[in-house]
Homo-oligomer: A and B are copies of this chain.
Amino acid sequence: MKTLRVALLGCGNVGSQVARILIDDAADLTARLGARLELTGIAVRNVDAPRDVDLPAELFTTDAEALVKDADIVIELMGGMEPARTLILHALGHGAAVVTGNKALLAADGAALYEKADAAGVQLSYEAAVAGAIPILRPIRDSLSGDRITKVMGIVNGTTNYILDAMDTTGAQFGDALAEAQRLGYAEADPTADVEGHDAAAKGAILASLAFHTDFDLSAVSCEGISSVTAEDMSAAKDAGFVIKLLAIAEKFSDGDNGEGVSVRVHPTLLPRRHPLAAVHGAFNAVFVEAENAGELMFYGQGAGGAPTASAVMGDVVTAARRLVLGGPVPAGQASGHLPALPLEKVTTSYSIGLEVADQPGVLAAVARVFSEHGVSIETMRQTIHGEGASAELRFVTHRASEAALAATVEAIKNLDVITNVKSVLRVEGV
């Protein structure tokens, strides 16, 4: 029976679970594969550091290079740019299949890695890099290979979904919900990368490149976090039958005579309560895909955590191992076109706008005129009157229009005398 040598780089939260599965489920994996997967070693910075899982001490080493040289399959779970990048390139160069969960590296430098893998004729897989346990990369690449994806919307950050779900359920303000999430371990002490949308932006760029077979540079993602979402926004959304989610949206647009372009944006978004993404609670993730023939699809599951992410890693390991056992050529990875990144102004979307206005005749007419002058049409309007003859609140949801036209509309509304306050401007999807 064939033995495949597996090197593991990194032994944190996910790495330790991968090691556990490789050791504990060895008999099962051998039966499924018809080959043995031998964990030859685990490269770490400090062999004596405490681990989540009890693993044989003799597996640990600080010499990652030596492990990589001698492996059929290299699992990279160190994270960060270096030495991960160099070790992956060496592994591919030696003809080893590589499995990684390193979304930062892929978002920053994926094209170079895919190219190296294709040139070497070996497999580079990274299911764990986007949305943890959720099988999303393989379905997009294989199952939808005979269709055309037009849009991908993902709840791809568990921390922000946990916070927004808590705000929706309990009516808490952002700061309190964040503090509670930190207390429970759903948010880090420095939550910036999560709450400001940077983590979601990296995943959005990877999803766009997969869905549209194109390079997409992380710097072209337009990104807005959730720290300005208020309890009042949540409750107004609830009253109108919506929920607020932080979405990473990758969308293909026709850019007039310039052909097609791709937009990736991350922002808090109103979704109708009956939308499938609205039912994604707590720290769960989900990716919603629209394709020309398939219509609407959604993939739901745990986006983080040791064991769930290890499940995605092991799916890639077994698939790579099956190919090594079977022999034969390796299919090319990422098909890389070069669709231009569209700036946010060119994207069409729709807005929900909350206004505090003087309760006097002619206000609605004045506001409606501004919408009309900018070519933005109104889908729904709700008015709430506070007290008697004092002030009123107007909430508009627009039809889809260009971001440029919507932004100009909001600016012009701010300058109307009858407007006391523009209380909230949020984008809307799924209507």
Chain A residues with a Cβ under 8 A of chain B: 17, 21, 25, 28-29, 32, 127, 133-135, 138-139, 142-148, 213, 274, 276, 278-281, 284, 286, 291-302, 305, 307-308, 310-319, 322, 326-329, 331, 335
Contacts and interface: CB of A to CB of B under 8 A. Distances in A.
A298 B301 contact: yes
Contacts of A146: 21, 29, 311, 313-318
A335 B32 contact: yes
B274 A315 contact: no
Given A146-B313, A147-B315, A308 B328 contact: no
Contacts of A284: 296
- List 6 tightest A-B contacts by C-beta distance, closest first: A328-B328, A146-B314, A135-B143, A279-B279, A294-B311, A293-B311
B145 A319 contact: yes
A291 B274 contact: no
A135 B145 contact: no
A322 B308 CA distance: 30
Contacts of A305: 295
Nearest to A277: B279
Contacts of A279: 274, 276, 278-279
A118 B313 CA distance: 27
A295 B135 CA distance: 12
A295 B276 contact: no
A28 B307 CA distance: 39
| Protomer copies | 2
Given A276-B300, A294-B311, 10 more contacts: A142-B315, A146-B315, A146-B317, A293-B314, A294-B307, A296-B301, A297-B300, A297-B301, A299-B300, A327-B328
B144 A135 contact: yes
Contacts of A310: 293
Given A147-B315, A314-B146, A318-B146, A133 B29 contact: no
Contacts of A274: 279, 281
Nearest to A335: B32
Nearest to A322: B331
Given A138-B138, A138-B139, A295 B145 contact: no
The residue among A294, A295, A313 with the most chain B CB atoms within 10 A of its own CB is A294
A21 B326 CA distance: 32
23 contacts: A29-B146, A32-B335, A133-B294, A138-B138, A138-B142, A138-B143, A142-B315, A145-B314, A145-B315, A146-B314, A146-B318, A279-B279, A293-B307, A293-B310, A294-B308, A295-B301, A295-B305, A295-B307, A295-B308, A297-B301, A298-B298, A298-B300, A327-B329
Contacts of A314: 145-147, 293
A143 B307 contact: no
A157 to B, nearest CB: 17
A203 B278 CA distance: 28
A225 to B, nearest CB: 26
Nearest to A28: B148
A133 B147 CA distance: 11
A103 to B, nearest CB: 17
A327 B330 CA distance: 10
Contacts of A291: 311
A241 B329 CA distance: 53
The residue among A143, A284, A315 with the most chain B CB atoms within 10 A of its own CB is A143
A302 B311 contact: no
Contacts of A312: 143, 294
A148 B139 CA distance: 19
Given A298-B300, A327-B328, A329-B328, A142 B319 contact: yes
Contact of A143 (B127, B292, B295): B127
Contact of A147 (B276, B280, B292, B311): B311
A372 B322 CA distance: 51
A115 to B, nearest CB: 17
Contacts of A29: 146
A312 B322 CA distance: 24
